[in-house]
Chains A and B, each alone.
Chain A
């Protein structure tokens, strides 16, 4: 998906996006379909894409953005190959969510809501992931839970994801 974005020039993307919008022009009911296809085309949904869709369908940017942020399927940022979700639920928060995010920031220069320039990792903060006994915890790629984290353990965890 992302490869597509880097191959096509921006003008080309604008044209292709217009083709996706065309069948729904002036029809707010097509929003979800258009967003899905647009994300497949561009890889994520940056502001310029949202504006083009808003104007094409005749809805406000607020409407488009509200829908995008409601569904976790849609992404506002380019996605990395691996997604790190750091838990900020009450148990983790008390035991050291801050420590985990600071350590990751020091290691990868990566803040929540961002992707590394080499597209390796995307970082996000989430609510309780149901591993409170292992707090502080994070989950990678939605399946691998890493718990009882300490600053010196984190580099080895990240090593496992290329």
Chain B
């Protein structure tokens, strides 16, 4: 162990600890900007400098390891003067647009300016003028607000292994962007939005589609329905100021009704439907010698990743559309017929923890109802914004229930939001369908948690089913490379694009870090346990849907509405 003194207090820490982490132990909060725990520790911005006795210069605390006998002062007048100077230099090349910025009041740079009491921008230097990239349906990049911290590069390169961004040029002219300043819509970016989650400022944000939704709600001709993704109920609270892990299911439903949606439905319903379609697809592949392992297809960022980087493995993808895209066509066919509404008048809104869903709903093949199946997707962050605009105080809203029939769901649908949830939900159903027996313990703990690659073998009748579960695209790569090498003998693989699954998706409330992801996961399984039904095949609304409309899983109608094809895209095209 290492002994040192920080601000006149003795601290004992493990070797290799940074000064920044050691200081946290004695309650000294050193400001940071480029630093991001476990992700980006590069010492670029120097806002975290401290005084170390005997050192000739000030030392950046985020990268400097502690040493035996070190004497550190974290807040001398000199230190504060230098930090303030650094901040002023950053601000001199930053647009002063806080009032109209998506990150207003949730921006690390703005917060630093407030903490340091910046009253004026002293340096009127030249400003870099790089154009905004609004080519993507999912995220918008505004390099003028970029502080060059490189967190986005770290997450895109090291966590997602997409590497859509790089630092171009040097010094003042540095630009964080794709090579040749290519547009995000025209290259391998999978639209996952993980960069928007870690960006300290408004330099990468979700595309704000709230205006479209307000317009639809104001249109008396439109029948506006909404579906809410599994993860949104364990996220919305945070967007409105509640503690991470808060569950806001009933309040979210109530709030959506107050906003004026004609029907409040649930993506959990089509998550249950996905299990029936996908479970049967798996059984069919196993019994008829189809392509195995089969890989889940719920996550549009993952689909785009596979299309770019592993086009040779596209046959492994389940042909099932994602729950969001199963919902859209059902609303505009099944529900429209049932309620006798012209599908042309139905406006279908999704609330998703995901930016890639914005991209997914615009894919040309997502028109199987004869209309664009899902008209617009809002992230959890945008829904939070709508609640605020409408003055809805969620904590004072009553608990309300989803509308029938597309709002009826089970715990299996709910856990789709967490890594391992699709697999667990599938196992609950496949086991009972194949064996005809009731599962004694439906909690498949091996599927749960944040581990990057989880593996298990589950005995289903006389078949030992080998499964793998990955979250974060870098982890997916490990398993995909095994398939390519012919070394993977799994039957079924769940891949979720974002770390932790959808509860950590790119449209989640900010901040989203490992601790917060874990709290949302716990909340997800709490919701699951609260449900009276916890197996997809027991969902009465799904049973009725098959009886009244679809016929049987993988039947003709299902193929037409609920299954899809993929496109080989490649890289550098």
Contact = CB atoms under 8 A, between A and B. Distances in A.
Nearest to A70: B170
Best-buried of A55, A60, A63, A90 by chain B (most CB within 10 Å): A60
A93 B571 CA distance: 41
Interface string B184-228: 000010000000000000000000000000000000000000000
Contacts of B180: 47, 65
A62 B169 CA distance: 12
Interface string B151-190: 0000000000001111111111000001110000000100
Contacts of A66: 166-168, 179
Contact of B172 (A47, A65, A127): A127
A61 B170 contact: no
Given A55-B572, A66-B167, A66-B168, A61 B179 contact: yes
A88 B128 CA distance: 12
Nearest to B177: A62
Given A54-B572, A90-B125, A63 B169 contact: no
Interface in A57-95: 60-66, 69-70, 88, 90, 93
Contacts of A90: 125-126
Nearest to A61: B179
Nearest to B163: A60
A62 B164 contact: yes
A50 interface: yes
Contacts of A108: none
Contacts of A64: 179
Contacts, number: 41
A51 interface: yes
A127 B128 CA distance: 12
A123 B164 CA distance: 29
Contact of A51 (B126, B164, B167, B572): B572
A88 B129 CA distance: 13
A64 B172 CA distance: 20
B165 A62 contact: yes
Contact of A69 (B163, B165, B168): B168
Contacts of B572: 51, 54-55, 61
Contacts of B126: 88, 90, 93
A32 to B, nearest CB: 15
Given A90-B126, A93-B126, A65 B179 contact: yes
Interface in A6-61: 47, 50-51, 54-55, 60-61
Interface string B437-460: 000000000000000000000000
A76 to B, nearest CB: 8
12 contacts: A50-B179, A51-B572, A60-B571, A61-B571, A62-B179, A66-B166, A69-B168, A69-B169, A69-B170, A70-B169, A88-B126, A90-B125
Interface of A: 47, 50-51, 54-55, 60-66, 69-70, 88, 90, 93, 127
In order of increasing CB-CB distance, the 9 nearest A-B pairs are: A65-B179, A66-B166, A62-B166, A60-B163, A69-B168, A51-B572, A61-B179, A69-B169, A62-B179
